[in-house]
Amino acid sequence: MMDKTIYIFRHGQTDWNLAGKMQGHRDIPLNKTGIKEASQLKEKIDLILKDLLTYEIHSSDLSRALETAKASFPETQIKMNQGLREIDVGDLEEKSRDSVSFSFQNPDPSYRFPGGESIGEHRQRVYSTIEEILKTDKEVIFISTHGGSMARFLEQTINYQPKKIKNCELVHIERIDQEYYFKGYLS
C-alpha cells in the first residue's frame, strides 16, 4: 500500500453530549451548536482542500458524524461505513457519563460495556475499517467519526499525544511504510 495522509475528525455537538449522556450506536443528530461547529470545521478543512487535487471522504453512518461530514464537504460524495461507528455501549446507552465507573482517558482493552462491545473489539473494528478504507488509490483521506473511535485509532499511532477529544476536533495522521504517525491536532 502507498503512503497516505489522513485527516480524522469528531462530529459536532449533540444534545446528549451537552447533557453528558453515554452515546454509542444510538442515532442522535447534531444540535444547533454542533451545526455551528461543523461550519467552523469546514473553514479549517477548506484550507487543506485548496492544495489538493483528489481525496476521499468517509463517515460513520450515524447521523451526527454524517451531518458533520456533509457540512464540511457539501459538494463531495461521502462514503458511509458502519465500522467507523462509536463503541457499542450496550446497556449504558443514555446513562450519565458520570455514573459510569470507567476510565475514558486510559481504558482497559478488556473492559466490556454491559450488553455491548469491549474496548479491544472496538479498537480492532475501527483499525480494520480504516485499513480497508486506505486501499483506495487516493493519497488523502478524510474520516468523520466519533470521539471514542478516534481515540482507539489514535492510540495505535506513533507519537500520539492523548487528550480529551473535543467536538469537531481535527487530527492529522501520516501512514508511512505501513506505520501510522500522529502529526498533530489542527483545531
CATH label of the domain that carries residue 98: 3.40.50.1240
- How high is the pLDDT of residue 14? 98
Alpha-carbon gap, residue 43 to 51, rounded angstroms: 14
Q: Tell me, what amino acid is at 53?
A: L
Q: What is the extent of the structural domain holding 52?
A: 4-176
- How high is the pLDDT of residue 187? 65
Whether 166 maps to a domain, the answer reads yes
Count up the domains in the chain and report the number. Answer: 1
- How high is the pLDDT of residue 185? 97
pLDDT in tens, 149-186: 999 999 999 999 999 999 999 999 999 999 999 999 99
Tell me the Ramachandran region of residue 109: left when phi exceeds 0, alpha when psi lies from -120 to 50, beta otherwise. alpha
Whether 117 maps to a domain, the answer reads yes
Residue segments in the chain with a per-residue pLDDT below the cut of 70: 1, 102-105, 187
Whether 77 maps to a domain, the answer reads yes
